Amino acid sequence: MGDEDWEAEIIKPHISSYVPVFEKDRYSSGANGDTFNRTPASSSDPGFSNNKFEEGDSSGFWRESSIDCEDNQTRNRGFSKRGGYQDGNDSEALGSSRRGGRGSFRGCRGGFGRGSPNSDYEQDEGTQRSGGIFGSRRSALSGAGNGDTFQSRSGGGSGRGGYKGLNEEVITGSGKNSWKSEAEGGESGDTQGPKVTYIPPPPPEDEDSIFAHYQTGINFDKYDTILVEVSGHDPPPAILTFEEANLCQTLNNNIAKAGYTKLTPVQKYSIPIIQGGRDLMACAQTGSGKTAAFLLPILAHMMRDGITASRFKELQEPECIIVAPTRELINQIYLEARKFSFGTCVRAVVIYGGTQLGHSIRQIVQGCNILCATPGRLMDVIGKEKIGLRQVKYLVLDEADRMLDMGFGPEMKKLISCPGMPSKEQRQTLMFSATFPEEIQRLAGEFLKSNYLFVAVGQVGGACRDVQQTILQVGQYSKREKLVEILRNIGDERTMVFVETKKKADFIATFLCQEKISTTSIHGDREQREREQALGDFRCGKCPVLVATSVAARGLDIENVQHVINFDLPSTIDEYVHRIGRTGRCGNTGRAISFFDLESDSQLAQPLVKVLSDAQQDVPAWLEEIAFSTYGPGFSGNARGNVFASVDTRKNYHGKSSLNTAGFSSTQAPNPVDDESWD
């Protein structure tokens, strides 16, 4: 069966009539109400009534769901269950174990993706690229846009050897000359979508908004009891207080205004390491302050060493580049950078896909010391020679395991081999995440000096203990009912509901609205404007329920998210850890409820048992049984061979760990000079 046939099949009446109509009527028309917050009256609006939820049975969406049919890629492969493939189109989960392992993108048909939202190549920038450092990319585009944004996004060319970054940004192809920027709509390869004109609202200017923060929770002090391990050669001692960091007065003022009085463990260890000029790979649980752990020492250095004064220049040469996998996350990091650099001469700029490229460029040319960027947009502005790399002293990969996996890894490699980018010996490279699989750690060696330090706060890849985790056995046909039951009990408390695919996010959000539960949604098929509106409505409580794909799984720091519901479990345990980490942040408590479908989730049973037991959560007997039956008698979910689930892969050393309050204790790796080189 060819691609076309599968496309034809996916456009069943109840699906096709629903989604595009929904998108057009509610959003593309420019309607303001970017929520699914429907009153009974609104459910009779024409766009809405076209969908077949009134069927309320398992025939429509659910029948599709049973064969994973909302996922085009699944169809393309003709698999009826979830094993052994990686979808690249509709599903936004980062495929891994269950879907063929982290390396499973190999089989991607490619060329998919979010053609339209990023198709913001701007004629008005006067920039038919004349090749530039990436060569002529425009020629790679063929076919005229047909204006059907839905089709162009979810369709995509076949056989183009590309990859749709499942979270958000898009990488196309790895072959010669196959790289195309998101700004060119190159992701889909064959259609040029409408020009992106979205200009995000300016960041707040008033001090109260800049420094707005939420309170640390009752468990914040318990961070002190978390085991920390530092490995690598000759690490500097940890600091225990902000004073010991010897930051300048302005930074200290900003830290105080941000409400920080005490360092978190990852900050205690990372700040002196970064101040000491060392490369770092740091793993710490979700919500434990990794952003400040890299921003503060970088800013301190910039203040100390001096930076290029901000002034208008066509080519800006930032001292620091921070990359993150999703637009909302990079924007959040930017706001943190802006907060901590308040009152200094350091100018931070953020650029990301789905917004007008001209706007990004206008931000840059006014001056740029810290550039926060998603990978596609970053490569665009480098290609347009708006950003030069010669002055880069700090390269930060947030959610580093994601940035180095098969999705973004090639892009990151291109970044470090761009003309002008200082070699790893000449720059400081910093990687942060809550999860860091060993195979990705090995890849990271290419980016880091060989004597980098590895900080593990608690268990690498471990779930935050402040999140109470519950796993419920729920078959796919009962999920909606169960979800409504739970949400009704929860009341108005902020809840993120994760689903596996973009279409399902729309379906579930609409379904919940029909149930009169105020809901909005965020996923990669929504326009950036809509995504930001949705996040805003969720943040301010207008819509207490946010249905999301994995695009919202990592990094987002939203106050008062008390619940995470995994309507669908993700493909990988790491993704699970990130998702549930949207609650229980900064010492606050939270709850995560996950629907475990025996039909499709059994591969996750074993790692789930481990994550639950490591986080001292109740493990249901039935789950242990599944894990046992899947993995045989050798499996013991509670066995913890090593306190650290995963450690520095250079583990040719004898581990030693410490409580982080007890000063500092480190594990010494052999002198890297003697160590097997990764270069």
Q: Which positions touch ligand ATP (CB under 6 A)?
A: 213, 216, 259-260, 262-264, 267, 284, 286-292, 434, 555, 557, 581, 585-586
CB of 671 to ligand ATP, least distance (A): 31
Name 661's Cβ contacts closer than 8 Å, sequence gap at least 6.
224, 225, 240
CB neighbours of residue 470 within 10 Å: 14
> Read out DSSP for 204-229?
P-SHHHHT------TTGGGGGGSEEE
CB neighbours of residue 358 within 10 Å: 16
Length of the chain, in residues: 679
CB of 13 to ligand ATP, least distance (A): 40
Within 80-204, residue ranges assigned H as helices are 149-154
CB of 587 to ligand ATP, least distance (A): 8
CB of 209 to ligand ATP, least distance (A): 14
Closer to ligand ATP by CB, 20 or 289: give it: 289
Closer to ligand ATP by CB, 284 or 604: give it: 284
CB of 372 to ligand ATP, least distance (A): 14
Closer to ligand ATP by CB, 118 or 594: give it: 594
Residue 305 backbone phi and psi in degrees, to 5: -85, -15
Instruction: Round to the nearest angstrom and report the end-to-end CA distance of the chain.
Output: 44
Whole-angstrom Cα distance, residue 236 to residue 667? 12
What is the 3 state secondary structure string of 270-301? HHHHHHCCCCEEEECCCCCCHHHHHHHHHHHH
CB of 285 to ligand ATP, least distance (A): 7
Closer to ligand ATP by CB, 183 or 283: give it: 283
Name 21's Cβ contacts closer than 8 Å, sequence gap at least 6.
46, 47, 50, 51
Closer to ligand ATP by CB, 264 or 649: give it: 264
Q: CB of 340 within 8 A of CB of 259? A: no
CB of 40 to ligand ATP, least distance (A): 37
Whole-angstrom Cα distance, residue 582 to residue 572? 16
Closer to ligand ATP by CB, 172 or 594: give it: 594
CB of 264 to ligand ATP, least distance (A): 5
Decide: helix, strand or coil at residue 320. Answer: strand
Query: Hunting for tokens 């581990």 — which residue is that?
Result: 655
Query: Hunting for tokens 């192809």 — which residue is that?
Result: 173
**399 backbone φψ class: left, alpha, beta (φ>0; ψ -120 to 50):** left
CA distances from 189 to 115, 118, 356 (A): 8, 12, 19
CB neighbours of residue 542 within 10 Å: 13
CB of 344 to ligand ATP, least distance (A): 18
143-148's contacts with Cβ under 8 Å and 24+ in sequence apart are 143/190, 143/191, 143/192, 144/191, 144/192, 145/116, 145/119, 145/185, 145/191, 145/192, 145/193, 145/194, 146/191, 147/194, 148/20
Which residue's Cβ has the minimum distance to ligand ATP? 289
CB of 275 to ligand ATP, least distance (A): 16
CB of 134 to ligand ATP, least distance (A): 30
CB of 258 to ligand ATP, least distance (A): 6
CB of 317 to ligand ATP, least distance (A): 27
Within 308-374, residue ranges assigned H as helices are 327-340, 357-365
CB of 347 to ligand ATP, least distance (A): 21
Closer to ligand ATP by CB, 337 or 497: give it: 337
Whole-angstrom Cα distance, residue 304 to residue 260? 22
> What is the DSSP code (8-state) at residue 97?
G
Closer to ligand ATP by CB, 26 or 582: give it: 582
- Which residue, among 462, 405, 525, 504, has the nearest Cα to 96 in the 3D structure? 405
Closer to ligand ATP by CB, 216 or 429: give it: 216
Whole-angstrom Cα distance, residue 102 to residue 96? 4
Residue 230 backbone phi and psi in degrees, to 5: -115, 130
Closer to ligand ATP by CB, 152 or 285: give it: 285
Whole-angstrom Cα distance, residue 175 to residue 44? 50
CB of 511 to ligand ATP, least distance (A): 28
Closer to ligand ATP by CB, 190 or 557: give it: 557
**156 backbone φψ class: left, alpha, beta (φ>0; ψ -120 to 50):** left
| Torsion angle, alpha carbons of 400, 403, 405, 410, to 10 | -140
